[in-house]
Amino acid sequence: MKYITKKNLLRLTEELSSVYRVLAPVAQGGTVTFRRFHPGMTLDMHSRMAAVSAKMATLPQTESLLLVQRVEENKKPELTETLPQGKTLVMGARPCDARGKLLLDPVFITEKIRDQHFIHRRENSIFITLACDQPETTCFCHSVGSGPADTAGSDILLTLVGEGYVAQAISDQGQEIVTHSFFEDAQDRGQQAQAKHGHALELMGQAHDYSSAPAKILERFDDMDFWEVQSAKCISCGACTYMCPTCYCFNITDNDLGLTSQRIRTWDNCMSHTFTLEASGHNPRPTKAHRLKNRVGHKFSYYPDLYGGIMACCGCGRCIKQCPTGVDIRQIVNAAQEYAQ
């Protein structure tokens, strides 16, 4: 256990920004978001959890996959794979953000498919996370196998103690960073950090048991009356998908610029009517009830069925907090679990 003051953490972040592309929580326009950090900026580590997750560190909202260049009009074009460059450090993410990136691994790194863009970013990213000491009412990480001080996916876990942070190195990369002169021995502050972890978990109350959710949601698959009720408030805006640390749907588009073209991957939104719209005009998910069924079913039924029972949800609660109409994914899953025919 090491200790670093708030002032020195800012100095450390400034120093690291000369080596890494640093993403850090910054307040702008009344909202805290992860932005590219530059010296002179102010970290906002504590006012509230960032509205958008740190997913962009490993799966950017927009990225170039391929560059096609035609030297001459009638000659075969040259194709160049535009792999990511450099390293990224995420400062001040929450444990749910770090855990969220792990849930993307089984999708992008398999025996048959190895997404080189994702792999590069995973192997060249460092997460310095901040343990939550005051969970929000929308948080339910402890119900999906995590917690306010979960170390899964983190390289360093920070815990606010006094006028600084106890720093627990989790990985070899994290261990290397805490050898910096800005850090000092934590002494008895390590015990204070552990006490704060326990208190934060107590504040969350009793965890909900989702073990029956995969089967119960599947039982409701063809019950569109059930899903009509659950989706009544939904307006299909897609905010829930864009804020989510574990949503990974994307679209591929080609940007034709004449003799140069670019193939681009961007986040997509499964709550959009056009997401599954086929060229024939047929849409297998024609209503918001069908689309919400897919979103909830994927996270709490299909994904755990494919990947050893793990929920595709880190319990950050962003989809609940940012929903303009108050759709609560916890209530939907609970309704499916408690449904009586």
**In which region does residue 293 sit, left (phi positive, over 0), alpha (psi from -120 to 50) or beta (all else)?**
alpha
Residues 6+ apart with CB under 8 A from 322: 51, 239, 240, 243
Q: What is the pLDDT of residue 48?
A: 77
Q: Encoding tokens for residue 108? A: 């992008």
Residue with tokens 């627990």: 168
Q: pTM for the complete prediction?
A: 0.93
Q: How many Cα atoms occupy the beta-carbon half-sphere of 16 within 13 Å?
A: 29
Under DSSP, is residue 129 helix (H, G, I), strand (E, B) or coil? strand
Q: Which residues of the chain have pLDDT under 70?
A: 341
pLDDT at position 29 is: 82
Among 5, 314, 290, 31, which Cα is nearest to 160's? 5
- Could you tell me if 293 and 329 are in contact, meaning their C-beta atoms sit under 8 angstroms apart? no
- The confidence score (pLDDT) of residue 121 equals 96
Q: What is the pLDDT of residue 341?
A: 62
Nearest to 22 by CA among 6, 51, 43, 47: 43
* Rounded Cα gap, residues 163 and 327, in angstroms: 38
Give the pLDDT confidence of 247-279 residue by residue, as tens digits.
999 999 998 877 788 999 999 999 999 999 999
pLDDT one-digit tens code per residue, 57-108? 999 999 999 998 887 777 788 889 999 999 999 999 999 999 999 999 999 9
